Amino acid sequence: MTTGMRRYLKQEYIWATARIALGWMLFWAFIDKVFGLGFSTTPQQSWISGSSPTTGFLKFGVSGIFADVFKAMAGNVFVDVFFMAGLLLVGIALLLGIGTKIAGYAGALLMFILYLTNVPPVHNPLIDEHIIYLIVLIGIANVKAGHTWGLGKWWSNTSVVKRFPILE
């Protein structure tokens, strides 16, 4: 095996690991917010107990130039549904390695919106973890990260993906 081939294989594993890690992070956030498993969400604050999964953050966790815009969204059922759907769908897609292109871009959009909730960032004048996640998600969307340790190769050969390549 050539040195170039080994380097390529290492890159595949790094991207696959990043995909799975981010997928788990998003999927876990969904599960914890739905059931209130006590990590970031208590059972009393869970979605199944009737609480809004976004209200606490939007009321008390936003700051900066867009704070008033985000605070006005607190308690909106559409914001809750879109946020939770994003966590679930992007998380599952990344975990399974299917739809990584659209999941990567959708996840990057989610991270950009979360970044806007605290502009400027608290610990750095320009960059916070959401921008790092955004960059990694765009990378995942562009390197076929689902083909390693995922169902991406199979998914890419389905007729729906061949017809609509954005679903790859």
Q: Is residue 12 part of a domain?
A: no
Q: Exposed, middle or buried by CB within 10 Å (0-12, 13-18, 19+), for 38?
A: exposed
Q: How confident is the model at residue 9, as a pLDDT?
A: 75
Q: Is residue 64 part of a domain?
A: yes
Residue 45 has pLDDT above 90, yes or no: yes
Residue 6 has pLDDT above 80, yes or no: no
Give the chain's largest Cα–Cα span: 58
Q: Domain span at residue 120? A: 17-167
Q: Is residue 7 part of a domain?
A: no
Alpha carbon 3 to chain centroid, angstroms: 33
Say how many domains are in the chain.
1
pLDDT, tens digit, for every residue of 102-150?
999 999 999 999 999 999 998 899 999 999 999 999 999 999 999 999 9
Q: What's this model's pTM, rounded to 2 decimal places?
A: 0.93
Q: Is residue 9 part of a domain?
A: no
CA distance 24 to 18: 10
DSSP string, 62-84: -EETTHHHHHHTTT-HHHHHHHH
Non-local CB neighbours of 110 within 8 Å, separated by 6+ positions: 83, 86, 87, 90
Q: Is residue 77 part of a domain?
A: yes
Non-local CB neighbours of 108 within 8 Å, separated by 6+ positions: 133, 134, 137, 138, 141
Alpha-helix runs per DSSP H in 36-120: 55-60, 67-72, 77-96, 100-116
Q: What rounded mean pLDDT belongs to the chain?
A: 95
Q: Is residue 1 part of a domain?
A: no
Q: How confident is the model at residue 5, as a pLDDT?
A: 66
Q: Is residue 97 part of a domain?
A: yes
CA distance 64 to 115: 11
Q: Is residue 42 part of a domain?
A: yes
Tokens 């299917």 locate to: 98
